[in-house]
Amino acid sequence: MKTGADIDGAHWTAEYDPVARVIHVWRDARGLGNFTAPAALFGDVTGGGAKSVDEHRVEEAALRAFLHRLAADLRPAPGSR
């Protein structure tokens, strides 16, 4: 699953790898790193069959929320530039 968002003038992209349980993150097409996916974000159950449209939307929203939180955490503190 992959999603993106424009945050603070940059395009952020996150891709969730359910096998490795890792989220790959890019900012303006530059790799920022791989982050362990929080279990609370996607749960611990895998292989439950095809997902419904609603389940897919919920997971995409969770991935986008992770992306926004990460962008906020990496934003420089005011006055630190």
In degrees and rounded to multiples of 5, residue 54 shows phi and psi of -65, -40
Domain edges within the chain: 2-40+51-74
- The confidence score (pLDDT) of residue 18 equals 86
Q: Is the pLDDT of residue 13 over 80?
A: yes
Residue 21's CB: how many other CB atoms inside 10 A? 15
pLDDT of residue 43: 66
pTM over 0.85: no
**Looking at the chain, which runs of residues are DSSP E strands?**
2-7, 10-17, 22-27, 30-36
Structure confidence at residue 80 (pLDDT): 65
Per-residue pLDDT at 21 exceeds 70: yes
Give the DSSP letter string of 1-22.
Answer: -EEEEEETTEEEEEEEETTTTE
Ramachandran class of 77: left when φ > 0, alpha when ψ lies in -120 to 50, beta otherwise: beta
